[in-house]
Amino acid sequence: MAEVILENVTKKFGDVTVVKGINLQIKDGEFMVLVGPSGCGKTTLLRLVAGLEEVTEGKIIINGRVVNQVPPKDRDLAMVFQSYALYPHMNVYDNMAFALKMRKVPRAEIDDRVQEAARILGIEKLLERKPKQLSGGQRQRVALGRTIVRKPSVFLFDEPLSNLDAKLRGQMRAEISKLHFQLKTTSIYVTHDQVEAMTMGSKIAIVNEGVIQQSGTPMDIYETPVNKFVAGFIGSPPMNFFEAVVQEENGRVFMASEGLKIHWQEKLAAKAKQHGLGEYIFGIRPENLHDAEFFEKVEGCEVFSGQVEVVEPMGAETYVHLTTGKDRFVARVTPKTGARVGRQMQVVMETAKVHVFDKKTWKALR
């Protein structure tokens, strides 16, 4: 196992800078997920750690050693790619053993490592099969097994579940998380799927336009996003945003937009006064909006009306898409809801859960 430290890491392709001065510490045994939209620089960052791309500026330190000039084969890393990249003419055993054979590892040790990895992944009965005889999930397990047998100090995962269907992705998320719990090897995992990030990472880093916007535990980032981008990226359905004006009337502070007039409780009102009245962006997660018919209003809640546009039953919950004035938003409500398309629905907002962002900088107000 090893600690991985990135110090002011920058990568340029000609005049284009795709990774911009990133600083990040991944502690020994940690499962770090790099998550962000396509083209944000997260895969390039992973390839820099792997040594598949050269660092333009900065340092990459693995287990106390600067590895900028160290070739990939000498960095003690193992990488799982988006494509399984299995040798089609070899059976599962030989696919898993190939890298060890190239390193001249003794035959008995190779057999022990392959059998151990197969047992961990539950593929002992597949060792004689060729890749074409395997399902997508089985192939991905073999790709994982090929990295496990090497016993590296760091695992690198480049969107390994992208080629799987939704059900299999869920199963493999659990498998990889269980694998990390067993092996406790430092891992860096790249994905564009925020659900994978939230459910798998002990720490996550949100990347956008080559910059880490925020890093921390999944729940810290979910509950206290530093800016509007992070707030909107993490969470499913994503956070609702309203452009509104903060005003004061008869000693009470409220937010007003074309279709809303929501009074703030004391804590939020004090924050608004501290930063000055005026235009802001407000965010509220769908689970903090409720169908008033089935939610008991308590202190700190406000009720307003919305026009129902779409109703999405999900089984254990229902997503209701609504409009009020020019604003569109989603409420995550009980499946008992009586919401019907074209009708009005009374919505309860938990104002204590509102996030406030500067309209110009998108930064969260603290």
What residue segments make up the domains of the chain, in order of their start?
A: 4-233, 240-358
CATH class of 4-233: alpha beta
Residue 277 has pLDDT above 80, yes or no: no
Both tokens of 76, joined, read 């003690």
CA pair distance 343, 345, nearest whole angstrom:
7
> The whole model's pTM is what?
0.88
Q: How does pLDDT run across 97-147, given as a tens digit for each residue?
A: 998 998 899 999 999 999 988 988 888 999 999 999 998 888 888 988 888
The predicted pLDDT at position 1 comes to: 62
> How many other C-beta atoms lie within 10 A of the C-beta of residue 63?
16
The predicted pLDDT at position 240 comes to: 96
CB 337 within 8 A of CB 294: yes
The predicted pLDDT at position 144 comes to: 86
More confident residue, 242 or 171: 242
Assigned fold of 240-358: OB fold (Dihydrolipoamide Acetyltransferase, E2P) (2.40.50)
Both tokens of 336, joined, read 């008992």
Q: How does pLDDT run across 183-226, given as a tens digit for each residue?
A: 899 999 999 998 899 999 999 999 999 999 999 999 999 999 99
Residues in Cβ contact with 256 at an 8 Å cutoff, skipping those fewer than 6 apart: 244, 245, 247, 262
In the chain, the percentage of residues whose pLDDT exceeds 90 is 62
Which range is least confidently modeled, 8-22, 244-258, 294-308, 316-330?
244-258
Both tokens of 179, joined, read 């694998």
Which range is least confidently modeled, 173-177, 226-230, 251-255, 287-291?
251-255
CB 62 within 8 A of CB 68: no
* pLDDT, the chain, mean: 90
What average pLDDT does range 67-94 have in this prediction? 89
At residue 90, what is the residue type? Answer: M
The predicted pLDDT at position 2 comes to: 87
